[in-house]
């Protein structure tokens, strides 16, 4: 699943890094005390084949049909079988063709066999069922009065445990079966599912068509998919593998632009994994209102239609990360599948790292390093401001809670360190062994470790222990000195993290680069395993600069004080862009004329856009006249992502009319990039210039990719702190506006609630009903908005969401927001006035938590609470 980046995009567009309300709250426990471990499920039967024969009724938003499971008993004398089902109408059940008794209770369909069967014996269970307006699993999309142009579609989303909402099944990853989906849809529709298309034929009713798909490679139930709509099919080819894209008519060019690299990616992955693409075809279906970025159903990935983009967006937006991620899952997650969610990093960490590997392959080492830097930033953000947990962790309430920065980003960064530890040859050879040995199976982390150990002969207990089963990362302090008499450079490395039962004293290999004034470097490999090491290197003269871990391969934080001259040298000469960028950022804390000059040179002349962007941000942190002049000059840089950073930095200059003037001018003349214009709108708001309001209101109307300009203009308006911005935001909130614009308006409102007590009440009245909004994105955003306002009157709505929303992400955010309000940890400037009220509420909250714990203890054991 592609989740975090999708939400990143959302938060980035809001340009409000507190968007989800967690940033200032500080680290909380990952789970409340009372949450018990979730152990993998026991199986009584091995499901061998699942056959779904279904009819989709788009008028009634209903599904009806038959699910047939061919299975073999694992246990002896199997007399009773259980399937998962959620809100399905079970009509009849047959075993071996004969009607049998069944009951449904608590999300389980229990089937009693006429006579017990022996271990190994096969039986076929046939279930007739129907569902009308399913709330999860199968989503019907279509036009309504507010969105008359929305296309008619139906699509499924199984992961994590939602397949049971559209067919009765064993809904847990630790079972794999082949499958068939035989689905009848209106004749003008195309239905896409897993595996090969066996046939299409006229359906039994007039004006219908039946598609028969068959997946010959066993897969887990959460990977079974169905998507139907009036799609056009575009064809491509990767060697012998047919590659298909499904989009609505009119988006063909956008589809090629978004998905066109797929064949090359398939061949790249085949080469580095050494295992051919395993399925009959690879299809990507772009669907409307998808609740993730993408979902890697075997051979038939669902992608958000939001990733389709025009030529202008393509200037500085690419679907490659999303496409590469989902494609990588076809091996990592689909062919080799985590046995249970606690090991889901074997799916998501891999897909995230392979996203980066595609980036390295096509864009080079510096872009690759930037990609990993972004992963680190996301991980550090969640670790510092949200919670900390080990990558493998079985204490959770809903599995989706695990799909976070630890699973994705930290997982990817750990794989990267393993690669650097072993070298490319052994790393990929080990991955090949892991994939070859476990294809078609379920895996746990130990399987991966063993494949690496068997391939390399090395013991890796320590590596997996410190990075995967324990939590945290090295927090390093680096100091260096030079002994002129003995011609020795010394570098001391100290691990300062608190070492305890959950956080290790880390063992790692890294390198130290000693740089001369002219940029010449010598590098030394070092092994660290103690709390403190001092390394001595012969050196004819004092190094101008010392760089620890010059490639930035180790996941760590570093405190390393270096002189301005040293940083200037690094900024000028470091071969890796990532090192130059870091030096630029550090120079931003210096602020001297010399630092500004060095940053300006980098901004205008560095060969990598990321370093230019870092130099711009550093100049934004300096905030002097010379810095602003350099930035205005920097508006001419060619790379749109660097220009974005320049524009963002100009937003730092409040009370500097020339910064606002430059932004106003840019917005007036326009920029080739949507994203630069969007960033300029937000930055203009941050300057709080008197001329900003009217410009932002006008900019709000500009069409753009994913409405990025409008959403940033709304966030910019929130920064203005003018009451009239409330009225603009209010106009953008109603159902019927573009979903992302609505969400941005809600965020802006929350921020503007600080303006006055009376406006706060008004805004709260407006936002509270949105906790029940039809749109998923809005319900996901609302808890953060209410947390920001910090008014205890929101607690009822938040508790309701926490208890009853069907999406685990929303439940979790709602719970966090409610706790933050109760504990008074909100960002509201007026929050302190409410302390007394809050104290009263604390007591209520304590009682509530007790009740919730009791409820969960009673009903939540099946992991589907």
Binding-site ranges for Zn ion (CB under 5 A): 1, 348, 351
707: left (phi over 0), alpha (psi -120 to 50) or beta: left
Contact 811, 801 (CB under 8 A): yes
Q: 20-23, long-range: CB within 8 Å, 24+ apart, which pairs?
A: 20/783, 20/784, 20/813, 21/783, 21/784, 21/785, 21/787, 21/788, 21/813, 21/816, 21/817, 21/820, 22/382, 22/385, 22/386, 22/784, 22/816, 23/381, 23/385
How far is residue 363's CA from residue 360's CA, in Å, rounded to a whole number? 5
Distances in whole angstroms, Cα of residue 51 to Cα of each of 177, 217, 296, 471, 722: 10, 14, 20, 42, 60
How far apart CA 631 and CA 628 sit, in angstroms, is 5
Which residue in 276, 277, 283, 275 sits closest to 236, CA to CA?
Answer: 283
Q: Omega of the bond prior to 160 within 30 degrees of 0, cis?
A: yes
Distances (CA, A) of 520 to 570, 574, 581: 11, 9, 18
Give Cα 735 distance to the centre of its chain: 26
Find the helix or strand (DSSP H, E) in which 14 lies: helix 4-14
By C-alpha distance, which of 492, 612, 503, 615 is closest to 558? Answer: 492
Residue 689: C-alpha distances to residues 449, 657, 677, 745 (Å): 57, 7, 17, 21
Q: Rounded CA gap, 729 and 741, in Å?
A: 9
For 595, the token pair is 């630092």
Measured distance CA(270)–CA(278) in Å, rounded: 10
Longest CA pairwise span in the chain (Å)? 95
Nearest to 728 by CA among 718, 719, 743, 738: 718
Rg over CA atoms, the chain: 28
> What distance, in Å, lies between the first and last C-alpha atoms of the chain?
21
Distances 767 to 747, 781, 788 between C-alpha atoms, Å: 10, 11, 12
> Phi and psi of 720, rounded to 5°?
-65, -25
Strands 545-548 vs 508-515: parallel, antiparallel or unpaired:
antiparallel
Q: Which structure tokens are listed for 702?
A: 């500009």
Report the alpha-carbon distance of residue 45 to residue 71 in Å, rounded: 6
In 187-263, the DSSP E strands lie at: 190-193, 196-202, 208-219, 226-229, 231-238, 241-248
* β-strand pairing of 190-193 with 226-229: antiparallel
Nearest to 732 by CA among 708, 719, 748: 748
Q: Give yes or no for a contact between 271 and 256, defined as CB atoms under 8 angstroms apart.
A: no
Spatial strand order of the sheet with 532-538 comes to: 532-538, 488-495, 475-483, 557-560
Between β-strands 45-57 and 177-186, what pairing exists: parallel, antiparallel or unpaired? parallel
Instruction: Give the Cα-Cα-Cα angle 645, 649, 650 (nearest 5 degrees).
Output: 120
19 touches 747 (CB < 8 A) = yes
């Amino acid at each position: 699943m592609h989740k975090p980046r999708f939400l990143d995009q959302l938060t980035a567009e809001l340009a409000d890094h507190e968007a989800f309300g967690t940033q200032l709250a500080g680290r909380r426990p990952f789970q409340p005390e009372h949450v018990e471990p979730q152990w993998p499920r026991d199986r009584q039967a091995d499901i061998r084949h699942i056959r779904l024969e279904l009819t989709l009724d788009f008028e009634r938003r209903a599904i009806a049909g038959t699910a047939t499971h061919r299975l073999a008993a694992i246990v002896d004398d199997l007399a009773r079988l259980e399937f998962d089902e959620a809100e399905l109408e079970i009509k009849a059940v047959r075993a071996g063709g004969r009607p049998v008794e069944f009951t449904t209770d608590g999300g389980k369909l229990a089937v009693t066999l006429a006579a017990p069967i022996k271990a190994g014996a096969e039986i076929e269970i046939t279930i007739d069922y129907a569902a009308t307006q399913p709330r999860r699993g199968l989503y019907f999309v279509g036009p309504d009065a507010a969105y008359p142009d929305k296309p008619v579609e139906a699509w499924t989303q199984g992961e994590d445990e939602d397949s049971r909402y559209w067919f009765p099944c064993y809904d847990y990853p630790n079972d794999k079966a082949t499958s068939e989906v035989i689905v009848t849809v209106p004749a003008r529709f195309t239905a896409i599912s897993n595996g090969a298309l066996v046939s299409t034929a006229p359906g039994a009713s007039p004006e219908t068509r039946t598609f028969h798909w068959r997946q010959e490679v066993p897969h887990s139930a959460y990977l079974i998919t169905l998507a139907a709509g009036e799609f056009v099919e575009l064809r491509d080819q990767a060697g012998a593998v047919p590659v298909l894209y499904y989009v609505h008519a009119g988006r063909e060019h956008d589809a090629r632009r978004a998905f066109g690299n797929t064949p090359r990616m398939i061949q790249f992955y085949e080469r580095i994994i050494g295992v051919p693409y395993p399925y009959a075809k690879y299809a990507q279906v772009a669907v409307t209102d998808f609740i993730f970025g993408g979902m890697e159903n075997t051979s038939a990935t669902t992608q958000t239609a939001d990733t389709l983009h025009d030529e202008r967006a393509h200037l500085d937006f690419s679907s490659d990360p999303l496409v590469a991620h989902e494609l990588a899952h076809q091996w990592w997650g689909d062919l080799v599948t985590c046995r249970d969610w606690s090991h889901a990093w074997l799916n998501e960490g891999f897909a995230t790292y392979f996203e980066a590997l595609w980036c390295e392959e096509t864009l080079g080492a510096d872009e690759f390093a930037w990609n990993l830097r972004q992963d680190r930033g996301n991980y550090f953000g969640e670790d510092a401001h949200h919670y900390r947990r080990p990558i493998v962790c079985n204490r959770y309430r809903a599995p989706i809670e695990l799909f976070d920065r630890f699973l994705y980003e930290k997982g990817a960064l750990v794989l990267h360190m393993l690669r650097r530890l072993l070298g490319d040859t052994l790393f990929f050879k080990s991955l090949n062994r892991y994939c070859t040995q476990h294809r078609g199976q379920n895996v746990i982390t130990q399987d991966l470790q063993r494949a690496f150990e068997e391939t390399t002969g090395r013991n890796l207990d320590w590596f997996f222990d410190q990075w995967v089963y324990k939590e945290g990362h090295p927090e390093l302090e680096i100091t260096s000195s030079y002994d002129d008499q003995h011609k020795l450079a010394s570098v001391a490395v100290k691990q300062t993290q608190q070492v305890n039962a959950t956080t290790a004293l880390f063992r790692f290999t890294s390198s130290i680069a000693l740089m001369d004034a002219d940029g010449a470097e010598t590098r030394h490999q070092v092994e660290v395993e103690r709390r403190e090491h001092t390394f001595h290197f012969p050196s004819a003269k004092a190094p101008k600069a010392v760089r620890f871990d010059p490639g930035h391969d180790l996941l760590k934080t570093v405190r390393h004080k270096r002189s301005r001259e040293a940083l200037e040298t690094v900024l000028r000469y470091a071969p890796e862009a990532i090192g130059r960028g870091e030096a630029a950022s550090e120079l931003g804390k210096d602020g001297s004329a010399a630092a500004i000059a060095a940053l300006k040179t980098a901004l205008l002349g560095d060969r990598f856009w990321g370093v230019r962007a870092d130099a711009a941000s550093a100049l934004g942190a300096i905030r002097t006249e010379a810095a602003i002049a350099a930035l205005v000059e920097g508006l001419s840089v060619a790379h749109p992502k660097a220009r974005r950073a320049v524009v963002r930095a100009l937003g730092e200059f409040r009370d500097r009319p020339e910064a606002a003037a430059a932004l106003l001018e840019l917005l007036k003349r326009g920029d080739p990039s949507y994203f630069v214009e969007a960033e300029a709108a937000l930055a203009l708001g941050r300057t709080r210039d008197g001329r900003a309001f009217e410009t932002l209101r006008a900019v709000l109307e500009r069409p753009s990719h994913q409405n990025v300009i409008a959403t940033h203009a709304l966030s910019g308006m929130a920064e203005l702190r003018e009451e009239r911005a409330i009225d603009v935001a209010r106009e953008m909130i109603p159902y019927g506006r573009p979903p992302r614009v609505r969400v941005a308006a809600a965020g802006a409102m929350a921020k503007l609630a600080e303006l006055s007590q009376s406006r706060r009440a008004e805004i709260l009245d407006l936002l509270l009903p949105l906790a029940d909004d039809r749109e998923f994105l809005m319900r996901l955003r609302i808890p953060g908005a209410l947390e920001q306002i910090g008014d205890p009157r929101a607690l009822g709505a938040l508790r309701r969401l926490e208890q009853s929303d069907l999406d685990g992400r929303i439940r979790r955010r709602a719970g966090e927001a409610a706790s933050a309000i109760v504990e008074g940890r909100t960002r509201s400037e007026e929050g302190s006035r409410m302390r007394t009220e809050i104290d009263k509420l604390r007591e209520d909250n304590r009682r509530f938590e007790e009740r919730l714990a009791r409820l969960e203890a009673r009903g939540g054991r099946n992991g589907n609470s």
